Amino acid sequence: MSAVVIVGAQWGDEGKGKIVDIYTEFADVVVRYAGGPNAGHTLVVGDEKLVVRLLPSGILREGSTCILGQGMVIDLDVLVGEIDELLRRGRTHVEAQLWISDRAHLVLPYHILVDTLREGTAKEGKALGTTKKGIGPAYEDKVRRVGIRAGDLKDKSKLTSKIASALEAWEPVIKALGGESPTVAQVLATLEPRIPRILPRLANASKMVDDAVRAKKRVMFEGAQGTLLDIDHGTYPFVTSSSAVAGGAAIGSGIGPNRISTVIGITKAYATRVGAGPFPTELEDASGKHLREVGAEFGSVTGRPRRTGWLDIPALRYAARVNGLDGLALTKVDVLTGLDKLRVCVAYDTPEGRTDDLPIDYLDEPGRAIPVFEELQGWSESLNTVRVLEQLPAAARAYVRFIEDRSGVPIYLVSVGPRRDETIMLHNPFVGRAAAP
C-alpha cells in the first residue's frame, strides 16, 4: 500500500506544488484534502509556469486521477477559471481526470464580502492578514451547519432555500461591518453558469479514495498551507481555518488513518511567512532582502511580499511530532547561494529556561521566547547543474546534514531550483531509495 501525505512543515509556501508534481509521476491518484483558493501552488515545467489554487498539483500529469476532497472549500469561479486556463494551454485531459467531492463546501460571494469587510475594519494590530478569499467564513458556515455543499447544486429548490438561510444568518454581520448583503437571486446568478460544468464531476470522493487504496493504487494526499497555520496546532489565532496537518488527510478525504503509509514534510532551507502573526526568526536586514528577492518570495495568490527569516529547527521538530513525519523534502537550497554565513535557530530561551522545543504559546509575547542561533558557513557556488548530493558544495552538503541531524527526520529530497529537473531525489516514497545519501 502506498498512500503518501505531503504536508507543509512551516507557515505554508514551502514549495508543495513542485514536490507533489514530482511525486505524482509515480502516483495514480492525487487528492487535495483541505483549504481553498487561498492556497497557491506554483508549478514550473520547462519554461511553463502555472499557479493552481484549487486543482491538485498532479493535474499536469495525464492519466492521474485528481480529487478535491470533502475537507476543502471551493470557489466555483476560481475552479472553472483554472480548468479553462489549462484548456487554453492545450491540457485537454483536465476535466476528464478531475473529480469533486459532493460533500465539499462552497465559497460564496457573501463569504468573500465578510472576509474583506472584517480585514478592512479590524483595529490596528487585530487583522489576521487573511487572503480575503472567503475561506474563514465558509468554514464558519460549515461548522454552524448552514454551509452549501457541492452536492446541493443538484437541486435548485434545496439550494435556494439553503442560501436564503445562510444569508439570513450573515445579514446582521454584514450590516454591522458597513456592507450590503447580496440577495439570494444575486448569489444564484453567480452559481448558475458554473453548475453544468460542475455536476458531471461530482462524486463520492471518500469511496473513490478508499477504493483506490484498497486496490493498491498509489495515492498522494496534497496538503495546503502549513503546520504552523493549522487551526488546532498553529500559531493561533494567526492561522487558517482548516486542518493543515497530516491528520487532516484522513478527515478531509474520508479515509481511515490506517490507510496512510508515509508522511513527508516540506520545508524551505530558510523560513517565510505571509500575513500577520509571530515569526521569531524574521529578518529585516540585507540577508532577509536576499532571501525575498532571490527566492521570489511573493504570495502566489495575493502577490504580497513574504516575510523572510532563518530556518527554525524547534519549529521543524514540532512539525515532525504533530504530523508524524517520515521524511523531509528540503526546498530552495539554491536561494542561500551567495550568503557568507547562515544562521539557524536551534533552541529558545524562555521564562522556564532554554528549550529545544517550540514554545508556541510564548511566540506572540515579546521577550518571552528568544531564539538561540548557531552559525554555519555559507557558499558561493551555483547549484544550477547539481543533480546528486555529492555535487553540492561542501558547505551546502553540511547544511543539509545539519538539518537532517537536528530535526531528527531523514531528508528524502533536495530542491535546487524551481523546475522539475532541478532536484536531488534521495528517497522516493512510492519506489524506494533513489541514491545513497
Q: Look up the CATH number of the domain holding residue 128.
A: 1.10.300.10
Are 112 and 258 found together in one domain?
A: no
**Tell me, what's the pLDDT at 436?**
37
Distance, CA of 41 to CA of 64 (rounded, Å): 18
For residue 399, give every residue at least 6 positions away whose Cβ sits within 8 Å of its Cβ, in sequence order, or none.
269, 333, 336, 342, 376
pLDDT digits (tens, 9 = 90+) for 254-289: 999 999 999 999 999 999 998 889 999 999 999 999
Instruction: Answer whether residue 395 shows pLDDT above 90.
Output: yes
Are 254 and 377 found together in one domain?
A: yes
pLDDT digits (tens, 9 = 90+) for 117-139: 998 876 666 666 677 899 999 99
pLDDT digits (tens, 9 = 90+) for 322-341: 999 999 999 999 999 999 99
Q: Considering 13, 115, 141, 326, which one is annotated as catalytic?
A: 13
Are 357 and 246 found together in one domain?
A: yes
Count of domains observed in the chain: 2
Of the pLDDT bands very low, low, confident and very high (cuts 50, 70, 90), residue 387 is: very high
Peptide bond before residue 200 is cis, with ω within 30 degrees of 0: no
Are 292 and 159 found together in one domain?
A: no
- Residue of 82, 87, 74, 198 lying closest to 141 (CA atoms): 74
Domain that residue 182 falls in = 105-199
Are 85 and 113 found together in one domain?
A: no
pLDDT digits (tens, 9 = 90+) for 56-71: 888 888 888 999 999 9
- Residue of 69, 63, 64, 10 lying closest to 34 (CA atoms): 69
**Domain boundary pick from 145, 174, 199:** 199
pLDDT digits (tens, 9 = 90+) for 45-54: 666 777 788 9
Are 172 and 234 found together in one domain?
A: no
- Region of 126 on the Ramachandran plot (φ > 0 left; ψ -120 to 50 alpha; else beta): alpha
**Domain boundary pick from 160, 175, 199:** 199
Are 231 and 327 found together in one domain?
A: yes
**Tell me, what's the pLDDT at 151?**
98
Q: Considering 41, 233, 290, 427, which one is annotated as catalytic?
A: 41
Are 184 and 238 found together in one domain?
A: no
Specify the higher pLDDT residue, 319 or 298.
Answer: 319
Supply 160's cell numbers: 435556494
**Tell me, what's the pLDDT at 274?**
87
93 catalytic residue (yes or no): no
Instruction: Answer whether residue 437 shows pLDDT above 50.
Output: no
Supply 166's cell numbers: 445562510
Mean pLDDT of 219-227: 93
**Domain boundary pick from 199, 233, 268:** 199
Mean pLDDT of 392-413: 98
13 catalytic residue (yes or no): yes
